Amino acid sequence: MIAHEYLPARAVTWVQVQEWRAAVPRPGVEQSAVLVVEVEGGETEIPVGAVGRRGDLIRALLSRSPAPPNYRRGSTIAAAMAAFAGLLGWLVHWQFDPRHEEALPGIDRLGAACDHPGVAYDDAAAYDSSRPRQLVIYQKTTGDYYRHTLSEPANTSSAINPEAVDKVQLIACVRRSDDPYGDITDTECKYVRDGMQAQPVFGQQMPDRVLSIQIVHYVVDVYELRTHRKVTSRQLDGDDMTCPRSITATESIYSRISDDAFHRLLDPLTR
């Protein structure tokens, strides 16, 4: 089968092949090679332009037999595909696997363990190596993760606020969900302007701004600090409707996760 760029495709049998005529070079003229084939009433020329495996094609036409498969080309393609697969695997590893660091930073500088793709600290305490399991909380604020400490509830032995970083086994990474905003509540926060910020009303002051708190959906991912292996992932809504002590002139107000909610969620992981 010969398919030409501008002419209809032609089906030619081997017995019809008469001659292959190479193109005659002419200055400034692009001339195609031609294949001479036998047809009813004589011969005809079929122009043949650019073609892959030209040498194999000519030898096949002269010998009037199909050209053998190009195993070398197949091997080259297979090698290229293997190299591409290796590169793709490396990119996936680079993008999704955490990097490893031996030395532990200060306990207030573990935010990189929560950032994508995360950091595994080889010198951290192994998960389940001792109890209570020490756990730290980092919450995403303005694009970065910062340590979040909790108040210790009465009659509860909590390991959520450790002092020594080398005892920490788990890190809880808190962020807003991909669809973070829920209902607007009836809880109102009233403020008066104070320069670029706004302060809560005091006494009989008339508020300049009245804002309703909006529910925010959060995701809490808990990782083993040593390996960055995910231990659990939970979703919960912010239940703290406390009005902030101050806001900026353009800031909205959202619910936060209360200390009690954090303890209910995380304390079982430390025992």
Q: Which domain holds residue 92?
A: 70-98
Count of CB atoms situated within 10 Å of the CB of 61: 20
Percent of the chain with pLDDT over 90: 34
Identify the band that residue 64 occupies on the pLDDT scale cut at 50, 70 and 90. low
* Closest to 177 in 3D by CA, of 94, 73, 254: 254
54 and 107 share a domain? no
Mean pLDDT of 136-164: 82
Q: Is 140 found in the same domain as 250?
A: yes
Task: Tell me whether residue 80 is in a domain.
Answer: yes
Residue 195 or 172, more confident: 172
Q: Output the pLDDT for position 198.
A: 83
Same domain, yes or no, for 41 and 143?
no
Same domain, 54 and 124: no
In a shared domain, residues 222 and 110 = yes
Q: Are 196 and 249 in contact (CB under 8 A)?
A: yes
Report the pLDDT value the prediction gives residue 6, as an integer from 0 to 100: 60
What's the structural domain count of the chain? 3
Q: In terms of pLDDT, which residue wins out, 69 or 131?
A: 131
For residue 208, the number of C-alpha atoms closer than 13 Å in the C-beta half-sphere is 14
Same domain, 120 and 242: yes
Classify residue 7: in a domain, yes or no. no
265 lies in the same domain as 163: yes
Give the model's pLDDT for residue 94: 41
Statement to judge: residues 170 and 81 lie in one domain: no
Residues 75 and 138 in one domain: no
Is residue 4 a part of any domain in this protein? no
